[in-house]
């Protein structure tokens, strides 16, 4: 058998159309807006709460970030983050919570395989490319900045 090469283009289109789920744009966008907005509102509420304790903006912002990361990992461990993602889709990808979920999900999933070969080797499968891209991009941007400053005579 040669795979799907025996199908005509029209047959293949029909087959893929039948197997594909059509996205409901309005409910998906509404869910993303509600969940993503809710995460942002929670972050702002935590920020305001920490500032009401007399903390400066920098410290309150740091505590808010740590709190959102903690809650994201806690919800992932309890299986609640996936339920939010099923409803809110891209709304759960608010950077700090989505990244925490991407780091903790594989760690939880591969825990039975051990700390080194399970958690350690699988934890960065999703987040690893993001970290590598971020590091690489920061080096490139830094080099461009140094060149621009050198050319403009800042050094």
d(CA 45, CA 93): 19
Q: Do residue 76 and residue 93 come from a single domain? A: yes
Structural domain count of the chain: 2
Q: Do residue 57 and residue 101 come from a single domain? A: yes
4 occurs within a structural domain: no
Q: Do residue 97 and residue 50 come from a single domain? A: yes
What DSSP line would sit under 42-76, residue for residue?
Answer: HHHHHHHHHHHTT--HHHHHHHHHHHHHHHHHHHH
Q: What is the pLDDT of residue 1?
A: 44
14 occurs within a structural domain: no
Q: What are phi and psi of 153, to 5 degrees?
A: 85, 15
Q: Are 73 and 104 in contact (CB under 8 A)?
A: yes
- pLDDT higher than 70, residue 3: no
Q: What is the pLDDT of residue 43?
A: 96
**For the segment 84-127, what is each residue's pLDDT rounded down to a tens digit?**
988 998 888 887 888 888 878 877 777 777 777 777 777 777 77
């Amino acid at each position: 058998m040669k795979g799907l090469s025996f199908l005509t283009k029209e047959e293949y289109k029909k087959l893929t159309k039948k197997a594909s789920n059509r996205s409901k744009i309005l409910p998906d966008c509404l869910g993303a807006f509600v969940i993503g907005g809710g995460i942002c509102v929670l972050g702002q509420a935590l920020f305001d709460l920490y500032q009401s304790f007399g903390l400066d903006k920098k410290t309150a912002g740091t505590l808010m970030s740590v709190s959102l990361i903690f809650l994201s990992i806690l919800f992932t461990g309890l299986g609640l983050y996936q339920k939010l993602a099923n409803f809110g889709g891209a709304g759960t990808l608010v950077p700090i919570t989505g990244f925490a979920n991407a780091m903790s999900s594989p760690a939880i999933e591969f825990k039975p395989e051990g700390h080194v070969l399970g958690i350690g080797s699988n934890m960065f499968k999703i987040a690893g490319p993001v970290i590598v891209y971020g590091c690489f991009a920061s080096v490139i941007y830094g080099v461009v900045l140094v060149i621009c400053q050198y050319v403009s005579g800042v050094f």
